[in-house]
Amino acid sequence: MAQSLRIAQISDTHIGASHEPYNGVDMRGQFQRVIAELARRPLDLLIISGDLALMDGEIEAYDWIKQQLADFPVPYLIMLGNHDRLETAMSVFNLPKEDVHHGEFYFYRQFNECHCLFLDTSSYYLSLNQQQWLQQMVQQIKGDILLFMHHPPTLCACQFMDQHHALRNYQEVWQFFLTLPSIKHIFCGHYHTGCDITVSDKWIHLTPSTMLQIDRVSSELVLDKKIFGWRMIEWTQNQPLKTTVEYLQN
Ligand SMILES: [Fe+2]
């Protein structure tokens, strides 16, 4: 029987230190609704792709998220975004020390025959160390690779975010990515939008925020607080990858 892996990706939860809504958004309530929905789904893994905390790695946010996921039916992995802090996240989530390299949190996991790589762009850069590590990993891995990183590795036709919040070394990073043909699916957050775009030979899958969405067309910051969502990823050996974005409404 073909091996498979079912992942839910949530992103940019931006949980604050208090229970109070922020700019009219109840991040904790929305997070709970998303988790309750995902707990009913057939899943193998939950990935939280960065910006767990509202602003600056608030420990109350990490404590609360950990508490909310204590009874979640499948394992979860966290990644760092630019609003997260490694030391605090390590202390709360007991992150493995061997996944921390010179102050950055990046790692590899294998699930069945599916190979997953997780990068750290919390500095707004993809460091040279990580690029070298990625190159080594890609050379070693035989089989399908799913790559997860908080920031998209290049511009994504999202006017406001591309202009103001893109990965700072995206030009160098994208040139490097183009030398890695086995990287075909890149799953990101940070842009607070849900879409799938192709650039050259690769798919970039942007996953919506569980907090609020940012308009892709406007060059001004236009927020959508009515919907919040997540991404489902279904990998089956020797079959095309399936992935969809889903939303709940306020
Ligand atoms: Fe971010």
> What confidence tens digit (pLDDT) does each residue in 10-63 have?
999 999 999 999 999 999 999 999 999 999 999 999 999 999 999 999 999 999
For residues 83 and 121, the answer to whether their CB atoms sit within 8 Å is no
Per CATH, the homologous superfamily of domain 4-249 is Metallo-dependent phosphatases (3.60.21.10)
If you measure from the C-alpha of residue 191 to the centroid of ligand 1, how many angstroms do you get, rounded to a whole number?
7
CA of 164 to the centre of ligand 1 (A): 12
For residue 1, pLDDT over 80 is answered with no
pLDDT band at 193; cut points 50, 70, 90:
very high
What is the pLDDT at residue 242? 98
Tell me, in angstroms, the distance from the centre of ligand 1 to residue 161's CA: 10
The closest of 240, 246, 212 to 226, measured between CA atoms, is: 212
Separation of CA 12 and ligand 1 centre (Å): 7
Q: Measuring CA to CA, how many Å separate 150 from each of 2, 72, 167, 170, 212?
A: 30, 23, 9, 13, 16
**Residue 44 tokens, joined:** 């193998």
